[in-house]
Structure 1
Amino acid sequence: MERRPVILAIMDGVGLSDSTEGNAVRNAHMPNLQYLIENGAYTTLKAHGTAVGLPSDDDMGNSEVGHNALGSGQIYSQGSKLVNESIASKELYSTDTWKQIVSVSDDNTVHFIGLLSDGGIHSNIEHIKDLIVNAKAAGVKNVRLHTLMDGRDVPETSGLEYIEVMETLFNELNDENFNAKIASGGGRMYITMDRYDADWDMVERGWKAHVLGEGRQFENAATAITTYREELGVNDQDLREFVIVEDGKPVGTIEDNDSVVFINFRGDRAIEITKAFTYGDEFDKFDRVRVPKVFYAGMLQYDGDSNLPEHYLVQPPHITNTLTERLVEEGLNEYAISETQKYGHVTYFWNGNKLNKVSEELETWVEIKSDMVPFEQRPWMKAAETTDLLIEALESNAYQFLRINYPNGDMVGHTGSYLATLISVETVDLQVGRLLKAAQKANAILIVTADHGNAEEMLEKKKKPTDADAPKTSHTTNLVPFVIYNADVEL
């Protein structure tokens, strides 16, 4: 049987919906995708919920679980489901890691850092609440919460609702033997939650706020959020860092002998802050000023190859028999490329949450550095440059399987800008057209799909007909396209 190269193009965040209002996919000019649908083998795929290992079909898909599923061809229980199961069974609270976390002295503090929302992509507020309740039950005297505001996987200005939930819980729990407070915070796209070494300044800003207590001071988190919204016109994901103070002093700096738990279960935006807490003198990304001697744990282990972190509360999915492993067994060369924002998805997540290659000899990974500008200002991103290099790799005849991720539909979709997202989707279609011609020339098989939806729903669903339009910035539960071109197959 003739072996022909295969190209896989992942249109990140490009889902399908029959609705036309706010649909930056249906309303975009996409002649190349339409050509593939009409001339290839075409179907739609479910890319959310139980189909990708999430707890229920109400759970939105995301790039992490999408690339895990695409890269392994299997369904594994994913982060939120694993944590749900561990909490429900109380297994989490019987682990040595939890026992170490809550063994702090009465003078020390357990700190929880992470994304505060019920978006279910990186974290879940229900997990945070349960951890704090059980910390009190275990005899912990002091708890501090460092809140990273969402506005991306949930409505863009919903943060005050989550703050209110936590403040209400603290009022119920606090007594003469227990004291819980919000200590610091900021927007997820401005502090702490950087990924793929794209912007370590984000992590430094988070470190200064969470650990050192440095940043603009407020008497409570709600005031911080409303002040920044009014002054800067930003939504929750872009809020500047804030520090909560009483009597002029931060209420929750991180000190020696404290415990620190990073409560996100998804790994990509947890790795860098974890390195800041756990690395010694080899850490060189920024001046940490002081490094408190703490017991640090993650909700999950974010990278098994690097044992990062050493301590974690829930066992992550152990993904084996990935496509890469199979191709390496056959001695086939692979080429993976994307720009910074999704580079880890075509490598780390594709290979089953492993930072290292299965084979240095047979795998080529290429990262194109993303522009350091807001995505809505440059919605074409690096689509042309990544396509240039993939076509060059195809024409070299050195690779049998080539994969590329176009982040545009997802990253621009998260900004809430409909016009910019429309341009981003059309940009991707233009590049798919270039891949189509290259595949025809090389007699290659071209597969085009998406990892989850986003760009096809740019408006929140109205609760009342009279409600004003509100931009939607989160993923969806819609189907995604899947087409195979230039192959004699039926779907």
Structure 2
Amino acid sequence: MKINKLALLILDGWGIGPDYNADAIASAATPFFDNAWKTYPHSTLTTFGEEVGLPDGQMGNSEVGHLNLGAGRVVYQELARINKAIRTKELDLNPELLQLIERCKTNGHRIHLMGLVSDGGVHSHLDHLIALCDILQKHQIRKISIHAFMDGRDTDPKSGIGFIKTLTDHIKNSDARLVSICGRYYAMDRDKRWERVKKAYDLLVHGIGDTADTAEEALLKAYSQNITDEFIEPTLLGAPDPDLLIKDGDAVLFFNFRTDRPRQLTEVLTQTAFHEFNMHPLKLDFVTMTEYDASFKGIPALFKTDNLNNTLGEVIATRGLTQVRMAETEKYPHVTFFFSGGREIPFKGESRIMIPSPKVATYDLQPEMSAPELTAALLEHWETSDPDFICLNFANTDMVGHTGVFEAGIKAAETVDACVEKIVTKGLEKSYQFIILADHGNADTMINPDGSPNTAHTKNPVPVIYIGTQPIQLHHGKLGDVAPTILKLMGVDIPAEMTGNILF
């Protein structure tokens, strides 16, 4: 059977917003997208809640989106798994957690709970931290330090003070102590900005940073200077006490469940010495909520990863076909690891192209990001190779949407539109067909009803457009419907594991 080549273009963060005045994408000049929407088969997709394996109403994100896109089925997410484990008391009986508690009791060592403190549900959830505090208290663990990373990206920019109040109210009669706060910009970098990670490391290990009597005091001071949660300077709370910091022999439980952003901090604390930055691993009893990196040595996880078989990439490889995955640094793990169902290594016949993301403090300063270079890389790749399947992610409308800077969001959308036009024009000459879609919204709602910036993802529908020669009509669906649709369009048999529907 003839194989019909196909390119999947993922416009990260490109939703369809209800309010033009808050929608940077609708406000942008996007002539190619607008014409494609009018001319070609199109519909919308749901990217949140139970249709992507999240709790009802929970907003989607890039990790969840790419997992569902590549799997061709609803992939039940860690947030829903952990929520259920708390609800059913399964977490209380978790073997890795119980063993950690037993070691703390035997050794008398301090345990540190660290992670993102918000209800964003993208990387972590405050409810999970509270449940862990309760379990440790029940087991009479007396030495508990909490290191709170502030969000302001998957939640409103100054909402952190409310989450901290919820936490401190809950632990005020317990043995847990909130020791430090730090913006996720430092503690959760994923772009090899080791100078940022060092500031978090120095706070956690050496107690170096700003000081404040309470987290509320530190946050109010930052807000008064228009510093939002994401960028809170590493801050030590209360009277300095070296025993409250992370040191050799201590236990650490990193309670983030999403795997991409905790890797670097975990690496410097447990795996690799970075002499240039004066960071070296400590001898720690280190446990993580999920498995952050299969290559990390001696790091057990409370929740093991479920293997996903017969993802889109695997099916294409099994058929002896070729594929290329492309993104800039910020979304490279998504088109590789997550799109392949949690698999790190490429499939046979799979090429990967990563373009470095620009080295700027925040992407509103360069809303084009590396989209032009990414586009040029595909055009160059096409000069020597015609892979059967292409998966390419444009990060702009998500990463710039997270800054909350509306004008930059407009520029991001306009950049992506121009890049997509170049790719589609050349691809049609080479007999490619295209699916253009988003994994979730973001820049489609950049202003809250009260006029403040919205930096979080949206639950708005996202577009899906088919550009090609097959006479089809698309209907509304979910992200897990995309992979079987792609295989059908390519003329490849759909495996039984792909329970998603075909979108035409």
Output the TM-score relative to the length of structure 2: 0.89
Separation in 2 of the partners of 1:79 and 1:309? 21
Superposed displacement of residue 226, structure 1? 2.2
- Letter of the aligned partner of 1:269 in structure 2? R
Superposed displacement of residue 107, structure 1? 4.3
Out of 187, 192, 213, the position equivalent to 2:187 is 192
Separation in 1 of the partners of 2:278 and 2:139? 31
Name 2:497's counterpart in structure 1.
none
Name 1:147's counterpart in structure 2.
148
Deviations 1:35-81 (A, max 9, x none): 2222322111111111111011x111100000001111111210100
Name 1:50's counterpart in structure 2.
50
After the TM superposition, which residues 26-425 of structure 1 pair with which residues of structure 2 at under 5 Å, given as runs? 26-56=26-56, 58-103=57-102, 104-105=104-105, 107-171=108-172, 173-174=173-174, 179-189=175-185, 191-195=186-190, 197-231=191-225, 233-246=226-239, 248-250=240-242, 252-279=244-271, 282-284=272-274, 287=277, 291-303=281-293, 305-306=294-295, 310-359=299-348, 362-373=349-360, 374-425=362-413
Are 1:439 and 2:427 counterparts? yes
Percent of aligned pairs with the same amino acid:
31
Separation in 2 of the partners of 1:112 and 1:354? 28
Superposed displacement of residue 285, structure 1? 6.9
Name 2:501's counterpart in structure 1.
none
Deviates more, 1:25-34 or 1:399-408: 25-34
Separation in 2 of the partners of 1:319 and 1:302? 17
Separation in 2 of the partners of 1:329 and 1:207? 43
1:158–1:234 CA distance, 2 compared to 1 (3 A): same
Deviations 1:112-139 (A, max 9, x none): 1100000010010011001101100012
Separation in 1 of the partners of 2:424 and 2:323? 19
Please say if residues 23 and 458 of structure 1, whose CA atoms lie closer than 8 Å, have aligned partners that are also in contact. yes
> SS at 1:26's partner residue?
helix
Output the TM-score relative to the length of structure 1: 0.92
- Letter of the aligned partner of 1:296 in structure 2? F
Superposed displacement of residue 309, structure 1? 6.4
1:483–1:388 CA distance, 2 compared to 1 (3 A): same
Please say if residues 69 and 75 of structure 1, whose CA atoms lie closer than 8 Å, have aligned partners that are also in contact. yes
Superposed displacement of residue 475, structure 1? 0.5
Superposed displacement of residue 31, structure 1? 1.4
Please say if residues 158 and 223 of structure 2, whose CA atoms lie closer than 8 Å, have aligned partners that are also in contact. no
Superposed displacement of residue 474, structure 1? 0.3
> SS at 1:380's partner residue?
coil
Deviates more, 1:101-110 or 1:418-427: 101-110
Separation in 1 of the partners of 2:299 and 2:280? 21
Deviations 1:296-338 (A, max 9, x none): 11111123x4367631112333222111111111111111111
Separation in 2 of the partners of 1:242 and 1:368? 34
Separation in 1 of the partners of 2:202 and 2:63? 28
> SS at 2:286's partner residue?
strand
Superposed displacement of residue 212, structure 1? 2.2
The structure carrying a bigger helix percent of its residues is 2
Name 1:19's counterpart in structure 2.
19
Deviates more, 1:413-422 or 1:19-28: 19-28
Separation in 1 of the partners of 2:73 and 2:180? 39
Deviates more, 1:157-166 or 1:386-395: 386-395
Cα RMSD over matched residues?
Answer: 1.8
Separation in 1 of the partners of 2:139 and 2:270? 25
- Letter of the aligned partner of 2:327 in structure 1? S
Name 1:464's counterpart in structure 2.
none
Please say if residues 330 and 357 of structure 2, whose CA atoms lie closer than 8 Å, have aligned partners that are also in contact. yes
1:307–1:352 CA distance, 2 compared to 1 (3 A): farther
Name 2:498's counterpart in structure 1.
none
Separation in 1 of the partners of 2:384 and 2:4? 13
- Letter of the aligned partner of 2:435 in structure 1? I
1:244–1:107 CA distance, 2 compared to 1 (3 A): farther
Please say if residues 183 and 251 of structure 1, whose CA atoms lie closer than 8 Å, have aligned partners that are also in contact. no
Are 1:454 and 2:442 counterparts? yes
Superposed displacement of residue 33, structure 1? 1.2
Name 1:465's counterpart in structure 2.
none
Superposed displacement of residue 259, structure 1? 1.4
1:375–1:308 CA distance, 2 compared to 1 (3 A): farther
- Letter of the aligned partner of 2:447 in structure 1? L
> SS at 1:25's partner residue?
helix
- Letter of the aligned partner of 2:178 in structure 1? I
Deviations 1:381-425 (A, max 9, x none): 111110111122234234111121111000000001111101101
Q: Name the count of aligned residue pairs.
A: 470
Which sections of structure 2, spanning at least 5 residues, go unmatched?
475-504
1:428–1:187 CA distance, 2 compared to 1 (3 A): same
